[in-house]
């Protein structure tokens, strides 16, 4: 009896602990859909997960609760193939009122600025799709005229979303949502194919790293940006070589740099294949430059013999000052007063650094590393 009582108490304590977790609420009503199954689903990076469901009655009322997450997450309300996109970033209560059929377009949402903006974006996307289909079906235009019109539609759409949504709040979930909108099977913002789109992804990635540095979505954004940077570099290199009539194309997993060091020698990143490289963007006029150089010296002295190399790019405008400051430094010190190398790596502030592994592949940037020394040790 005593053992059974203790077991029962233990279960009760567990259930109480679960019930005490902070939760968010999604509630509301869907008119005109009695006896329909309404699903509440989490939209993960890889798949959808059903969190709850309810069979609607004549009132159409529903109420879902779920544990709040540490970083913002995305969800949908779904009946059949009709969905309403939502995002939750706290223990908020979001209210949704919709009408069936076509509830994906006929709904209102209250209690969340992010959800309200996502609704606006969803409706804009639906209108873009409608216009695209109309163009495709029209017999008033030639194929080329239709393609030109589609390009203008897409450019106008992207400019509106970029300026009024993404750049207005790159840390907001609606900005993240906008990045992954599609037209058919294609991303509207394609960071691998379009340099301007890559800049948009990078802006959101940088902002999310500030607000949600440990979030899986933040890390995924960084992976997308890094991969797209490499892919665009390879494409640009191919195009340049073709333009110059070159037939040999060397592909690398890193955006290569070719700069002159403080000894007058041309130094590239690709020549360092086989070593772990700390690519450091720096200027010696920074207030904490002496402390930073001391930190880098410690890492270099400790790990250079094991395969670490530092490739430090100075953006100092004064060449003489730079040469004086780097005279006694043991690592590769190059200078790029134009800042083009920093731009190619989307460096937004100084200092900034990246790690490159032994295969000469870009590994991580500073914002993805909580402990630089531990990351170096992993790669050595």
**pLDDT digit string (tens) for the chain, length 380 residues:** 444 444 444 444 443 334 456 999 999 999 999 999 999 999 999 888 999 999 999 999 999 999 999 999 999 999 999 999 999 988 899 999 999 999 999 999 999 999 999 999 999 999 999 998 887 777 776 767 777 888 899 999 999 999 999 999 999 999 999 999 998 778 899 988 787 888 889 889 888 988 998 899 998 998 888 877 766 665 565 555 445 444 333 344 688 899 999 999 999 999 999 999 999 999 888 878 888 888 898 899 999 999 999 999 999 888 888 998 898 899 999 999 888 888 888 787 888 999 999 999 888 888 888 899 999 999 99
pLDDT recorded at residue 46: 84
**Can you tell me the distance from the alpha carbon of 254 to that of 81, in angstroms, rounded to the nearest whole number?**
42
In eight-state DSSP terms, residue 162 is: I
Residue position matching structure tokens 């759409």? 157
The structure's pTM equals 0.63
pLDDT recorded at residue 281: 94
Nearest 5 degrees, angle CA 65-CA 70-CA 76?
45
The residues that bridge with 311 in the sheet, in sequence order, are 279, 332
The residues that bridge with 96 in the sheet, in sequence order, are 28, 109
pLDDT recorded at residue 147: 78
208's enclosing H/E stretch is helix 195-211
Residue position matching structure tokens 């779904």? 78
Angle, helices 372-379 vs 289-303, to 10°: value is 30
């Amino acid at each position: 009896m005593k053992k059974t009582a203790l077991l029962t108490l233990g279960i009760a304590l567990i259930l109480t602990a679960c019930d005490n977790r902070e939760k968010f609420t999604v509630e509301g009503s869907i008119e005109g859909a009695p006896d329909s199954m309404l699903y509440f689903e989490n939209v993960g990076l890889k798949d959808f997960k059903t969190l709850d469901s309810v069979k609607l009655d004549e009132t159409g009322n529903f109420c879902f609760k779920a544990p709040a997450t540490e970083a913002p997450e995305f969800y949908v309300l779904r009946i059949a193939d009709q969905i309403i996109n939502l995002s939750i970033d706290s223990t908020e209560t979001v209210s949704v009122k919709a009408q069936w059929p076509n509830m994906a377009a006929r709904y209102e949402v209250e209690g969340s600025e992010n959800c309200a903006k996502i609704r606006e974006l969803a409706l804009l996307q639906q209108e873009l799709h409608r216009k695209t289909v109309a163009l495709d079906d029209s017999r008033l235009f030639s194929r080329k005229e239709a393609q030109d019109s589609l390009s203008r539609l897409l450019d106008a759409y992207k400019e509106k979303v970029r300026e009024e949504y993404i750049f207005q709040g790159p840390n907001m979930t609606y900005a993240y949502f906008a990045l992954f909108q599609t037209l058919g099977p294609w991303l509207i913002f394609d960071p691998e194919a379009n340099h301007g789109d890559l800049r948009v992804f990078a802006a959101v990635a940088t902002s999310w790293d500030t607000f949600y540095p440990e979030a899986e979505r933040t890390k995924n954004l960084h992976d997308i940006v890094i991969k797209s940077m490499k892919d665009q570099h390879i494409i640009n290199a191919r195009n340049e070589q073709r333009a110059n009539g070159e037939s040999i194309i060397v592909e690398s997993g890193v955006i290569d740099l070719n700069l002159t060091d403080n000894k007058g020698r041309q130094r590239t990143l690709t020549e360092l294949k086989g070593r772990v490289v700390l690519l450091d963007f720096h200027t010696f006029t920074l207030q904490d430059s002496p402390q930073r150089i001391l930190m880098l010296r410690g890492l270099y002295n400790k790990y250079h013999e094991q395969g670490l190399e530092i490739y430090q790019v100075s953006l100092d405008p004064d060449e003489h000052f730079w040469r004086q400051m780097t005279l006694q430094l043991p690592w590769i010190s190059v200078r790029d007063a134009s800042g083009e190398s920093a731009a190619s790596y989307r460096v937004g502030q100084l200092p900034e650094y990246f790690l490159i592994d032994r295969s000469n592949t870009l590994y991580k940037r500073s914002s993805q590393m909580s402990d630089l020394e531990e990351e170096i040790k992993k790669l050595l």
